[in-house]
Structure 1
Amino acid sequence: MSNVAKKSDNTSHTLECGQKQIDERPVTSGRPSRDGNVSPAPDHSDSDHEEPDIESIKLVSDGTHDSRSNVKDSIGTSRNNSSGQGHRTSKTMADFMANNQKQDNYKDKPRGDRRRREPTPATTQGTRDLISKLKCCQIHRSDMLCLCFLFVILHAVSSEENLPSHAPNIVLILTDDQDKILGGMTPMVKVKELLQNEGTTFTNMFTPTPLCCPSRSSILTGRYSHNHNTVNNSISGNCASLSWQNSAEKETFAVFAHNAKYKTYFAGKYLNQYGKKTAGGPSHVPPGWSDWFGLVGNSKYYNFTVSDNGAVVTHGDAYHSDYLTDLLTYRSVKNIHKHRENNVDQPFLMMISTTAPHGPWNAAPQYEGKFLNLSAPRDGSFNKDGKNKHWLLRQAKNPMAEDSINYLDNAFRKRWQTLLSVDDLVAKVVTALNDTGQLDNTYIIYTSDNGYHLGQFSLPIDKRQLYEFDLRIPFIVRGPGVSKNVTRVEPIVNIDIAPTISDIANGGEGKFPASMDGISLLPLFNSDKKPKWRTDFLVEYHGEGSNNPRPECTEMDAGVSHCFPDCVCEDAFNNTYSCVRTLDTLNKVDLMYCEFTDSETFVELYNHTTDPHQLNNIRSTVDPQVLGKMNQRLIALGDCSGTTCRSSLPPKLTL
């Protein structure tokens, strides 16, 4: 009896060990589709996206708009998956979106229940198996076997310490033409809840060139326009040209992150001329990107072509299968889950580049009825004349025609409508990071390429100008070590994004390529730190004109472009300028000095402390010595490159 009992007891222990092995392995309930096809999107007719607080936006409308700030169902909680693996991703876009619509509010989840990636090397499946066997040998009391297993486990864990298993991930979300001055962030209630409240907001973020392609080139390379040589949106302006591909494109932050052993993902709008025949076609995949899903050409929401890792994919006008913002959401979320399953020890960089709120402003069907009672802000420089400004603003008709005002009001509403889908995108990306246990170890950066104007100085709609509404853009970051729910006032520029990403990818010790003109922002992510910071930077733009203006605008000077039916033109060949933007918060100096390359050699100077809307050009009333100092500083910044853009000191200025 004793022998039988002993045998039975051993069998019981053996089964228990086997069961333990099974329990400790990640349970995979499903995997995302790997065929690369984009499946249809869902019907969002039951969407509950909240209206934003717009009390800060002055409106010309008799209607009122409810002020709400709660995010409903914006983010799901983790379910039955403590390891961060084995998570089911919908195989179709419709399933994916529908599942996310049903998820619980992330903020309602108790803090202790939110999974996080621990700051220790993640054990691989092989090590977990060895640990299971060690438990078994302890049960059997085989000391020699236990010692052998213990030695192997220690060796395995030691080897894993050499893997970049806890290097932080990076997600850069870039919008298109999203302003800051005119309330462009007001619709983003989920961004506020998930990024602003959980991170740091920079209130003085600028683009050095207020136009899509040169600004995006600066974001990618960390260089001013005069150093990456992309000056406007045309091929002749070096936008995605073969010259760009053979030079600056080889030195983007994606290349440096890839060299630092990051897996890199891109989805969305790249550069305005990307994929065109004159730019090498859509088979060209820019270096540094492991996974590429790039829009061919400029911003669209329907009827577009993408390069899917070099393969041409066309989309039509069906919302459920073709709406670009939702496709970017689906692609990015799928890649987050797939990366976690297949590359658990490799950090990733992901850039998601939406076309919203750029024209043609096609909102998702469920958001077409939003903001219908709103009008564009009427304060500041709205519908003001440009009598003391360069010639392009002096040609604008003032007061504006009623048709122009109606047009820009409609644009204002539609821009906000398109942004609601971007707000959803942010929530679903954060959900995916949380569900895969990667949220606490991921930097999420949210920004835009340039600002926008809607009636300012009687210009209907566009960007390209040297004024605050076109230059100021949002910038928010959350992530490991980033202070929460705080703002910083130091002036930062989009040329700082590439050094920051490169710095993170290289260990966060201030290392980034010397060829970059910008500065790593990592020292500013902690509100307790007060590093010495820049007090000025360069703004530059090379006008984009046309030799064939609108037929009805023959009285206009040759070379104008982007003209409206009433012959108000937004650009011209000689709308070419360079500026020094001085923002010294310590000494309370807030200036903008600009020189134009035109027949007038026109100069504009504004004191933002007393004139925040840049209504009064004070070039003729200021001390000439100030003009001389600003001119010399402009020459220095206009010639700077790399370290000289960061090291040269601005002059001391008093007005």
Structure 2
Amino acid sequence: MNHSLGRGSCLALGIALAWVGAAFAAQPPNIVFILADDLDAASAATMDQVRTLVTNQGTSFRHHYVNVSLCCPSRVSTLRGQFAHNTTIFGNDAPDGGFEGTYAKGLESSTIATWLQDAGYRTVLFGKYLNGYPNTAPSITYIPPGWTEWYSANGGSPYSAFNYKLNENGQTVSYGNADSDYLTDVIAAKATDFIRRSADQHPEQPFFAYISTYAPHLPATPAPRYAQALPGITAPRTLSFNEPDVSDKPTWLRDAPLLTEAEITTIDQQYRSRRQSLLAVDDLVKSVIDTLEATGQLANTYVFVTSDNGFHHGEHRLTSGKLTAFEEDVHIPLSVRGPGVPAGATVDALTANVDYAATFAEIAGATVPSWVDGRSVVPFLRGQNPQPWRRAMLLARGEHGGTARAQDGLLEPPDPFDTLAVSIPPFTGLRTADDYTYVAYASGEYELYQNSRDPKQLRNQYDAANENQKAHLAAWLDALVNASGEALREAELRPPK
């Protein structure tokens, strides 16, 4: 048999072999996940560097939501890709929340960190982890499974941005009150150092960098260089600001008085502090992008910028805070740039914080457990519109959704709204792709808003809705709160018949 090849065949074979070789040699992409604390979508839109370097260079998700508008439940959902009814983490403190509850339930044994590390990634966390970390851990320098490097606060008062301690790879390092100790800047410096070291020392190994700022969480201390920035700025006076008529709202809000002038002044001061603190977060984003570019890694790195939950600033008569199902609290920003991501594109599909884990896993080629609830948004990052896609997602607040009063600086300081929030009954609800928000309170009260016609959620339409619509929403919600994994994703596609 003649095994010889003609010149054309040899050339074609050579090209094919070269393509295969290049494919095998290509390094999997890096992933940088930048997570701000309590960053609402409206405030995120004011961040110049995020807009210029991430949003305009990539894709933004216009209908991106959080399941529980509270730090720790959201962060556990990020790590595991599960809704809160499946993690059973609903609050910031034990027994059903915080680091203590998460650690006690063994949830850290399988997270995006362990999955990506198993897939060959170097993994690193900078900044805030879970509320109350490392209380009840075996030691103050405890590092959860799956992390190659670790830089997270384990003492002092990190929420104040000064006078805190960091667990730096198993060694506690103290920081004081010098300008150079400002926490957002320290996180930025450590992140850029890691990126440079990755290029120099591990050029053939991809990394996953989780960069988690404490800003703009209150007290929202600005960087010293921005202490006088944004003079005269006030909270946006939207149509729902200090809402004049709340007679259509559930009892917990209907009983709330109008905000006083003193309360409005405080809201404005807090809003300015939050915006000032975001200027350093914007600097962090620029530093990360610049370092990726300088080290030749930007073209092969996905950069995600988002928040753990939203935040309200006087809307619906509410003092500064979160925890509700209102749009200000559950709608969060998400912008992504990276290889193949369409520049300047927007996605209108309904996406959620439970989607990060599946997304990172697909990018990394990692295997996810069957219990993961979320969906990968990678098709959107390729300019595709995957079908079918979720038509509804869960909103929730559990029995233990409040914030513990800080004893040692590691627990989250209470927001002004927290003193009122204890009167909010637990709820479950839906945010639907056809633009409805439906909330069912444990007290037996309901809310229903058609957001396209009433974006500030001024008129609760539940009483006026027909019985078929009410039954349809109630059945859909019931199907979701009793499901997990593939069954939950199927239930998101359509209401039960």
The structural deviation recorded for 1:166 is: 1.3
Contact 1:178 1:450 in 2 (8 A): yes
Match of 1:130 in 2: none
Contact 1:524 1:531 in 2 (8 A): no
**Does structure 1 residue 577 correspond to structure 2 residue 433?**
no
Q: Which amino acid aligns with 1:283?
A: T
Contact 2:391 2:432 in 1 (8 A): yes
Match of 1:651 in 2: 495
The structural deviation recorded for 1:513 is: 2.9
Contact 2:371 2:484 in 1 (8 A): yes
Match of 2:480 in 1: 637
Bigger relative contact order, structure 1 or 2 (CA pairs below 8 A, ≥6 apart): 2
Name which of 419, 439, 443 aligns with 2:278: 419
Matches within 5 A, 1:324-343: 324-343=183-202
After TM superposition, which residue ranges in structure 1, 4 or more long, deviate above 6 angstroms? 157-164, 545-549
Matches within 5 A, 1:525-536: 525-536=381-392
Q: Output the CA distance in 1 between the equivalents of 2:403 and 2:222.
A: 34
Match of 1:254 in 2: 113
Name which of 358, 363, 380 aligns with 1:524: 380
Q: Which whole-Å deviations, capped at 9, do the CAs of 1:618-648 have from their partners, x for residues lacking one?
A: 1111111111111111111101111112112
**Partner SS, residue 195 of structure 1:** helix
**Partner SS, residue 349 of structure 2:** coil
Q: Output the CA distance in 2 between the equivalents of 1:171 and 1:641.
A: 28
**Partner SS, residue 204 of structure 1:** strand
Contact 1:367 1:420 in 2 (8 A): yes
The structural deviation recorded for 1:268 is: 0.5
User: Radius of gyration: which is bigger?
Assistant: 1
Residues 338 and 562 of structure 1: is their aligned pair in 2 closer, same or farther, counting only changes over 3 Å? closer
**Does structure 1 residue 609 correspond to structure 2 residue 452?**
yes
**Partner SS, residue 421 of structure 1:** helix
**Does structure 1 residue 492 correspond to structure 2 residue 351?**
yes
**Partner SS, residue 375 of structure 1:** coil
**Does structure 1 residue 347 correspond to structure 2 residue 203?**
no
Q: Output the CA distance in 1 between the equivalents of 2:246 and 2:110.
A: 40
Q: Output the CA distance in 1 between the equivalents of 2:403 and 2:357.
A: 36
Q: Output the CA distance in 2 between the equivalents of 1:535 and 1:310.
A: 44
Q: Which whole-Å deviations, capped at 9, do the CAs of 1:416-438 have from their partners, x for residues lacking one?
A: 11111111111111111111111
Residues 548 and 439 of structure 1: is their aligned pair in 2 closer, same or farther, counting only changes over 3 Å? closer
Match of 1:592 in 2: 437
Residues 546 and 438 of structure 1: is their aligned pair in 2 closer, same or farther, counting only changes over 3 Å? closer
Match of 1:388 in 2: 248
The structural deviation recorded for 1:273 is: 1.3
Contact 1:188 1:423 in 2 (8 A): yes
Contact 2:64 2:353 in 1 (8 A): yes
Residues 532 and 292 of structure 1: is their aligned pair in 2 closer, same or farther, counting only changes over 3 Å? same
Q: Output the CA distance in 2 between the equivalents of 1:392 and 1:355.
A: 30
Matches within 5 A, 1:113-262: 165-180=26-41, 183-241=42-100, 244=103, 246-262=105-121
**Partner SS, residue 312 of structure 1:** strand
Residues 479 and 266 of structure 1: is their aligned pair in 2 closer, same or farther, counting only changes over 3 Å? same
**Partner SS, residue 209 of structure 2:** strand
User: Structure 1 stretches of 5 or more lacking a match?
Assistant: 1-156, 550-560, 584-588
TM-score (norm 1): 0.68
Q: Output the CA distance in 2 between the equivalents of 1:470 and 1:491.
A: 16
**Does structure 1 residue 515 correspond to structure 2 residue 358?**
no
Match of 1:307 in 2: 167
Q: Output the CA distance in 2 between the equivalents of 1:535 and 1:456.
A: 27
Q: Output the CA distance in 1 between the equivalents of 2:403 and 2:227.
A: 38
Residues 531 and 404 of structure 1: is their aligned pair in 2 closer, same or farther, counting only changes over 3 Å? same
The structural deviation recorded for 1:512 is: 3.4
Q: Which whole-Å deviations, capped at 9, do the CAs of 1:411-462 have from their partners, x for residues lacking one?
A: 1111111111111111111111111111000000110000000111111100
Q: Output the CA distance in 2 between the equivalents of 1:547 and 1:330.
A: 30
**Length, aligned pairs only:** 469
**Does structure 1 residue 542 correspond to structure 2 residue 398?**
yes
Contact 1:412 1:454 in 2 (8 A): yes
Over the aligned positions, Cα root-mean-square deviation in angstroms equals: 2.6
**Partner SS, residue 421 of structure 2:** strand
Contact 1:440 1:480 in 2 (8 A): yes
Contact 2:36 2:308 in 1 (8 A): yes
Match of 2:4 in 1: none
Contact 2:218 2:415 in 1 (8 A): no
Q: Which amino acid aligns with 1:595?
A: A
**Partner SS, residue 393 of structure 2:** strand
**Partner SS, residue 436 of structure 2:** strand
The structural deviation recorded for 1:162 is: 9.4
Residues 613 and 520 of structure 1: is their aligned pair in 2 closer, same or farther, counting only changes over 3 Å? same
User: Structure 2 stretches of 5 or more lacking a match?
Assistant: 1-17, 406-412
Residues 632 and 430 of structure 1: is their aligned pair in 2 closer, same or farther, counting only changes over 3 Å? same
Residues 430 and 285 of structure 1: is their aligned pair in 2 closer, same or farther, counting only changes over 3 Å? same
Contact 1:370 1:417 in 2 (8 A): yes
Residues 568 and 316 of structure 1: is their aligned pair in 2 closer, same or farther, counting only changes over 3 Å? closer
Matches within 5 A, 1:329-478: 329-384=188-243, 385-398=245-258, 400-478=259-337
Contact 1:462 1:570 in 2 (8 A): no
The structural deviation recorded for 1:243 is: 5.1
**Partner SS, residue 296 of structure 1:** strand
Residues 537 and 529 of structure 1: is their aligned pair in 2 closer, same or farther, counting only changes over 3 Å? closer
**Partner SS, residue 302 of structure 1:** coil
**Partner SS, residue 452 of structure 1:** coil
Q: Which whole-Å deviations, capped at 9, do the CAs of 1:208-247 have from their partners, x for residues lacking one?
A: 1100010111111100001111111112223112653552
Contact 1:303 1:316 in 2 (8 A): yes
Residues 441 and 301 of structure 1: is their aligned pair in 2 closer, same or farther, counting only changes over 3 Å? same
